[in-house]
């Protein structure tokens, strides 16, 4: 489905991408993965794996990211997988926390697409995909700052979709629920312990990296050339409860 397509994956969790990247490759995609050095596993796609130390604060390192992107060939698709979470009650949700999460989860997306577009690195007919969260639609315990940042990402997706249609570039988002690989992380285990138990609350259970990869590939492919500005839920039905 992605034969002869060059896809940029920006950020992402090692547990998740270890399972997703081979599926992208099996579907014919040429992958360039940009992430911080502490995340990247050099054994996978080492030829097309690039380090960017300041990946979580890219708006402060515009020149460095611009230089990196200038060195690359143009892309047929982009997956924005960069994300940072935080579990904090209102009493501990200070401005610096909200600002920090907004920087990583939304502002970095806007900055990345801005630079790619400015440097003409998005081919006509490209598909841009952002990984958002079902938390952006729901009220959940201790997830105020995180949910706000993901809601802002949703809005950025819809507004960029409008702006980039004239360039024949589509922009969509997948709103993820809890994935099976998320259970490798301590903050997700803590979320379950305080009652945000999406697995037990969803009739269909947790989604898998394979499902996320397959849905992503479909959106990035030419099978859906007119879908843009869409927020697609992948949460096992959790948000329906």
pLDDT tens by residue, 16-66: 888 999 999 999 999 999 998 777 665 555 557 898 988 988 988 999 999
**Structure-token match 């690989």, residue found:** 181
- Residue 199 clears pLDDT 60, i.e. is over it: no
pLDDT tens by residue, 207-227: 999 999 999 999 999 999 999
Query: Comparing C-alpha atoms, which of 209, 191, 185, 79 is closest to residue 138?
Result: 191
117 neighbors 164 (Cβ within 8 angstroms): yes
Which pLDDT does position 93 carry in this prediction?
Answer: 82
- Residue 202 clears pLDDT 70, i.e. is over it: no
Q: pLDDT class for 71, splitting at 50, 70, 90? A: very high
What is the 8-class DSSP label of residue 7? E
Residue range 162-172: average pLDDT?
97
For the chain, give the percent of residues with pLDDT over 70.
Answer: 88
- Residue 119 clears pLDDT 90, i.e. is over it: yes
Which pLDDT does position 176 carry in this prediction?
Answer: 95
Q: Which domains are seen in the chain, by residue range?
A: 6-240 (3.40.50.720)
Q: pLDDT class for 7, splitting at 50, 70, 90? A: very high
Those residues whose C-beta lies under 8 Å from the C-beta of residue 210, and which sit 6 or more positions away, are 19, 20, 23
For the chain, give the percent of residues with pLDDT over 90.
Answer: 67
- The residues with which 170 forms a beta bridge, in sequence order, are 127
State the pTM of this model: 0.91
Which pLDDT does position 46 carry in this prediction?
Answer: 52
Which pLDDT does position 194 carry in this prediction?
Answer: 47
Residue range 103-115: average pLDDT?
97
> CA angle, corner 124, sides to 131 and 72, nearest 5?
70
Specify the higher pLDDT residue, 15 or 112. Answer: 112
Which pLDDT does position 190 carry in this prediction?
Answer: 53
Backbone angles phi, psi at 39, to 5 degrees: -100, -40
Which pLDDT does position 196 carry in this prediction?
Answer: 54
Concatenated DSSP letters of 56-95: GGGGGGHHHHHHHHHTSPPEEEEEE---------GGG--H
Concatenated DSSP letters of 172-233: EEEEE--BGGGGGSHHHHHHHHTT--HHHH-TT--B-HHHHHHHHHHHHSGGGTT--S-EEE
Query: Comparing C-alpha atoms, which of 116, 106, 101, 27 is closest to residue 69?
Result: 116
What is the 8-class DSSP label of residue 50? E
């Amino acid at each position: 489905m992605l034969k002869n397509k060059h896809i940029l994956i920006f950020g992402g969790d090692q547990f998740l991408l270890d399972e997703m990247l081979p599926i992208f490759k099996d579907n014919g995609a040429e992958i360039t993965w940009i992430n911080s050095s502490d995340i990247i596993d050099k054994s996978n796609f080492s030829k097309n794996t690039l380090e960017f130390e300041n990946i979580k604060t890219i708006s402060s390192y515009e020149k460095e990211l611009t230089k990196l992107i200038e060195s690359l060939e143009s892309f047929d698709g982009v997956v924005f997988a960069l994300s940072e979470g935080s579990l904090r009650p209102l009493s501990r949700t200070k401005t610096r926390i909200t600002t920090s999460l907004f920087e990583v989860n939304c502002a970095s997306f806007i900055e990345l697409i801005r630079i790619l577009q400015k440097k003409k690195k998005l081919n006509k007919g490209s598909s841009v995909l952002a990984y958002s969260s079902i938390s952006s639609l729901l009220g959940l315990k201790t997830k105020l700052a995180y949910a706000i940042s993901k809601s802002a990402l949703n809005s950025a997706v819809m507004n960029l979709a409008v702006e980039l249609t004239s360039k024949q570039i589509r922009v969509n988002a997948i709103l993820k629920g809890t994935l099976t690989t998320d259970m490798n992380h301590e903050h997700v285990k803590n979320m379950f312990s305080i009652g945000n138990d999406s697995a037990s609350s969803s009739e269909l259970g947790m989604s898998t990296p394979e499902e996320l990869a397959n849905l992503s590939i479909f959106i990035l492919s030419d099978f859906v050339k007119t879908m843009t500005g869409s927020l697609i839920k992948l949460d096992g039905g959790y948000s329906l409860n």
